[in-house]
């Protein structure tokens, strides 16, 4: 029994890292750029299907992992440049309506190109097998997913906090007029950040593909959970997105052991509790 509990808790960490990777991108877009991107889950799904295409064509999982965030980030750049930035002047209501419409568009595009049937790929041969835990084993691929997600999250944090371009991005978010005055195109900067954010969601979709498979609406359920993660962690807090993702993943795992029917409810109950006690989230600022 203890081995099964350990497996479930490890699965919670795996799911938590996927939430953290998606929420990190959402934090860049929603918390920092003040764009309520309800299409974030659609980019997650698009990443899974682009990965499926690359793997089907080349048989190379690693190539897919490298290509997917770049391809979907380019799509995100186009969406931000031609729509989101223009709608910023009109207010959040128009941005929300546009992103909700974009969800439907992306889902229909997926159905038209790849069909409505679920898709899946095999785990890379080098990551096949597992680590023994008593009478059961934990798959190597899931451990790889945790390490890969943590590495990407860490690299993005270093880029934001320890590089010149990261300093410019943070300055542009805090005081866009001043940054614009010194000759830096703030709008182009924001578009790049939007592209990075959706690229992270796409990478999460590609990483989860061998475990969960892909289907056109796979991002819908994840979207609600990702917003809960961001709210729990704190809007605009990159660390909060990571901690919130792990917290939600482990909460689901524990509730699945204790009371499976309440595993989803527990997430939003925790979010409501955080809002009541600390409205800015665990690591957010007032």
pLDDT at 2 (0 to 100): 54
Q: Give me the residue spans of the domains in the chain.
A: 2-116+133-277
The whole-model pTM stands at 0.93
pLDDT at 35 (0 to 100): 86
Please list the rounded mean pLDDT of every run of 10 residues in the chain (286 residues): 75 94 91 85 96 95 96 95 85 90 95 94 90 81 95 93 82 74 80 93 96 92 89 88 93 88 87 90 79
Count other C-beta atoms under 10 Å from residue 146's C-beta.
18
- 196 and 96 in contact (C-beta within 8 Å)? no
- 282 and 243 in contact (C-beta within 8 Å)? yes
How far apart CA 206 and CA 44 sit, in angstroms, is 8
pLDDT at 3 (0 to 100): 64
Q: In sequence order, what are the beta bridge partners of 82?
A: none
CATH code for the structural domain at 2-116+133-277: 1.10.3470
pLDDT at 182 (0 to 100): 76
pLDDT at 106 (0 to 100): 95
233: Cα within 13 Å, side-chain hemisphere = 30
């Amino acid at each position: 029994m203890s081995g099964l509990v350990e497996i479930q808790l490890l699965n919670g960490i795996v799911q938590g890292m996927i939430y953290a990777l998606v929420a990190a991108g959402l934090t860049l877009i929603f918390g920092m750029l003040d764009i309520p991107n309800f299409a974030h889950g659609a980019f997650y799904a698009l990443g899974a299907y682009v990965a499926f295409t690359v793997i089907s064509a080349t048989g190379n999982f690693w190539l897919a992992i490298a290509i997917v965030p770049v391809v979907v980030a380019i799509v995100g750049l186009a969406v931000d440049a031609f729509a989101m930035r223009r709608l910023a002047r009109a207010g959040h209501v128009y941005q929300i309506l546009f992103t909700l419409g974009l969800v439907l568009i992306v889902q229909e595009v997926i159905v038209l190109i790849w069909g409505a049937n679920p898709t899946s790929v095999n785990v890379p041969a080098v990551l096949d097998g597992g680590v023994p835990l008593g009478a059961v084993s934990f798959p190597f691929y899931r451990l790889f997913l945790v390490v890969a997600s943590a590495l990407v999250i860490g690299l993005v944090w270093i880029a934001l906090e320890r590089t010149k371009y990261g300093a410019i991005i943070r300055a542009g978010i805090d005081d866009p007029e001043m940054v614009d005055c010194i000759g830096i195109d703030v709008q182009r900067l924001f578009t790049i950040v939007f592209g990075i954010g959706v690229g992270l969601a796409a990478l999460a979709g590609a990483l989860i593909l061998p475990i969960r498979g892909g289907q056109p609406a796979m991002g819908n359920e994840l979207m609600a959970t990702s917003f809960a993660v961001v709210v729990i962690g704190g809007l605009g807090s990159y660390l909060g997105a990571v901690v919130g993702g792990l917290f939600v993943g482990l909460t689901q795992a524990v509730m699945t052991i204790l009371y499976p029917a309440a595993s989803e409810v527990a997430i939003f109950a925790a979010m409501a509790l955080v809002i009541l006690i600390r409205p800015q989230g665990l690591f957010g600022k007032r």
